[in-house]
Amino acid sequence: MFIYSVRAGTLKLFGFIALTVVLTLGVLLLGGDRAVEAAGSASGIDYSGVKTNEDRVRFIEQFGIKVGDTAIEEEAFAMPESFDRVILGYNELQKKQGLDLSKYSKKRVTRYTYKVENYNYDGEVYANLFIWRGRVIGCDISSADPEGFVAPLTLVDKTKLK
């Protein structure tokens, strides 16, 4: 008999990533005109030196996004050694902004979620940062509802900002 246990935090992370991937594919496949346009180039962005809450807020706000003063959620987890198709899909989103989560397999990563205050959308919008040793290794902006959106944070559609 084998017993396998999974922490609730791990399940929430993979559930969030799965939702993010599904939303991305839905927007790209069903609503090409709703897809987020690249508003800038990921080159020239400094992903390092993001160690404190102030650093994280400053990193997000450099893209014109206003967030609350503190993260509404913080979760540490180990990046899986091998990626399933959900995480591979999410990693493709990250590659659009010059990031690659596969470099961090088996590393202890922390996800910080901030509520976005200036995005023109009928629902709640969040900015997520995945940090490893003071470096942003992944980031996105997404809505909380199933019919919503997910996009690379560094390529946010500036026309949606208030």
- Does 61 fall in a domain? yes
pLDDT number for residue 119: 95
pLDDT number for residue 44: 83
**Number of C-beta neighbours around residue 14 at 10 A:** 17
Higher-confidence position of 41 and 9: 9
Q: Read off the pLDDT band of 85 (50, 70, 90).
A: very high
Share of the chain above pLDDT 70, in %: 73
Number of domains in the chain: 1
The answer on pLDDT for 146 being more than 90 is no
Share of the chain above pLDDT 90, in %: 67
Min mean pLDDT across 2-6, 56-60, 114-118 is at 2-6
- Does 62 fall in a domain? yes
pLDDT number for residue 31: 41
- Does 114 fall in a domain? yes
Report H helices in the chain: 8-30, 53-61, 85-95
- The alpha carbon of residue 56 and the mean position of all alpha carbons in its chain are separated, in whole angstroms, by 13
Q: Read off the pLDDT band of 92 (50, 70, 90).
A: very high
Q: Quote the domain boundaries for residue 140.
A: 8-29+41-160
pLDDT digits (tens, 9 = 90+) for 19-59: 555 445 444 444 432 332 233 333 589 999 999 999 999 99
Are 141 and 126 in contact, with CB atoms under 8 Å apart?
Answer: yes
